Amino acid sequence: MTTAASQTAELLELERQYCSFGDTVHYLEPPKVFVNCEGSYLYDEEGTPYLDLQMWYSAASFGYKNPRLSAALKNQIDRLPQLACQYLHAEKVEVAARIAQYCEKRFGVKGRVHFNVGGSQAIEDSLKIVRNYTGRNLMFAFTGGYHGRTLGASAITSSYRYRRRYGHFGDRGQFIHYPYCFRCPYGLKRESCDIYCQDQFARLFDSEYYSVWDPKAEACEYGAFYIEAVQGTGGYVIPPREYFQRLRGTCDRHKILIVDDEIQMGFYRTGTFWAVENLGINPDVIVFGKALTNGLNPISGLWAREDLITPELFPPGSTHSTFSANTLGTAVALETLRMLGEEDYGKIVNEKGAYFLARLRELQQRHPKAIGQVDGIGLALRIEVCREDGFTPDRELTDRIFAEGLKGDLEAGGRPFGLVLDVGGYFKNVFTLSPSFTITREETDLAIDLLDQLFTRCVAARN
């Protein structure tokens, strides 16, 4: 064994003994160790590059070790690396102002920003905002939706697997079918369905006996509808625009707020600053995280319409976390927002995404018995892995391709490569691709070449 390989073996042994298995590391056996990163690549202990098509679940949109963002972090380390969040510093205020001003321009309403650390924590804060404003603690959310793993976020996340071992969730969301047209829950076709699924939701309000609405009091038992404009963990499912326009109408008529979870899709992943802009509706609350700091010191937060978050309604101390709005995070966030404002990321992301999607379509043609669907919006792309019939989910093949990519024994231009993929979807048969915004045409071509090698290898081994 090489020294590097024996060091990795020792590390894995220590990990087996002392690390909890409760996170997602052991989705792969043995877990994968990386020692370096740059741009669109991760590197293992042998120096083998792995082209990363998931970029930390869309957190590192500007690529690893982005020089400008690293410099912003280093400057802040030398200037104001620590500050309790009860005191103010300039970057926090500037980040909040930029986000609020953007929303005001885009949605025509003034609002305010509240920071936290991780995405799930910001979701918790948004639940407080909704409860405080509406006096209601129940929420609608979508099947296939994912809002995080704290208890509050798990309650509105549809997957029962995430809740099963943790007792009763009194505030469990009421889950409504997401418009996932490739796998329409009603078995309909988009060309002729007239958004039947939205009608089904709207009809819940026809009678008090459908359990959500009291027509006499004109009161709904649910405070907000939590949406993802493009589902992330659910498999980068891209919905029809009309669905959400009708949803907005139904929610308005019944005084239900719309909370838009942009944690995975925000900051241009889909070619617009917020993914919800693709749907032509205005949300009441937006929750964000991940890409705001490109995977460096995390900060998350929410934007809420002014009347939901006035200082009178949401006074000092309403919610708090020690590391929220930490100075290292806000410094990077401010630089991220500057970068997003300096170039036309709508154009950049859409052009790169269109090229990637066209190449994915070619890949699908080469592997019609393994790829049921490819789709994309901006640089949020999906490959749905299916059995020979092009529809039945093939989770086994998906897992095999994922694991083979991480072996680092693919080949391109006479050198070894690996491929980093992320698996999502209702049936865990979707590769959710969120490549770096810095990805080049050559790297996209390399991605297709490596995917082609993986599909060829793993389909041949199918039983």
Ligand X SMILES: Cc1ncc(COP(=O)(O)O)c(C=O)c1O
Is residue 225 part of the contact set for ligand X (CB under 6 A)? no
Residue from 228, 260, 394, 449 in contact with ligand X (CB under 6 A): 228
Give the span between the Cα atoms of 301 and 118, in whole angstroms: 8
CB of 131 to ligand X, least distance (A): 18
Least distance CB 220 / ligand X (angstroms):
24
Residue 48 as a binder of ligand X (CB under 6 A): the answer is no
Interacting positions 99-128 with ligand X (CB under 6 A): 118-120, 123
Binding part of the chain for ligand X, among 227-235, 239-247, 380-388, 453-461 by CB under 6 A, reads 227-235
Residue 226 φ then ψ, to 5°: -90, 125
Binding status of residue 61 toward ligand X by CB under 6 A: no
Please check whether residue 195 is in contact with residue 243, taking contact to mean a CB–CB distance below 8 angstroms. yes
From residue 181 to residue 220, the character string flagging contacts with ligand X as x (rule: CB under 6 A) and all else as - is ----------------------------------------
Instruction: Tell me the CA end-to-end span of the chain in Å, nearest whole number.
Output: 33
Among 146, 213, 268, 345, binds ligand X (CB under 6 A): 146
What tokens appear for 432 in the block? 């959710």
Is residue 433 involved in binding ligand X (CB under 6 A)?
no
Q: Is residue 232 a contact point for ligand X (CB under 6 A)?
A: yes
List 258, 263, 281, 383, residue binding ligand X (CB under 6 A): 263
Buried b (16+ CB within 10 A) or exposed e, 17-28: eeeeeeeeeeee
Answer for the pair 286, 276: CB distance below 8 angstroms, yes or no: yes
**Least CB distance from residue 230 to ligand X, whole Å?**
9
> In the complex with ligand X, which residue's Cβ is closer, 57 or 267?
57
Interface with ligand X, residue 66, by CB under 6 A: no
Rounded least distance, CB 78 to ligand X, Å: 28
Determine the Cα–Cα distance for residues 49 and 41; give it in Å rounded to an integer: 6
Segment lying near ligand X (by CB under 6 A), choices 91-99, 102-110, 257-265, 392-400: 257-265
Site residues (CB under 6 A) for ligand X? Answer: 57, 118-120, 123, 146-148, 228, 232-233, 261, 263-264, 289
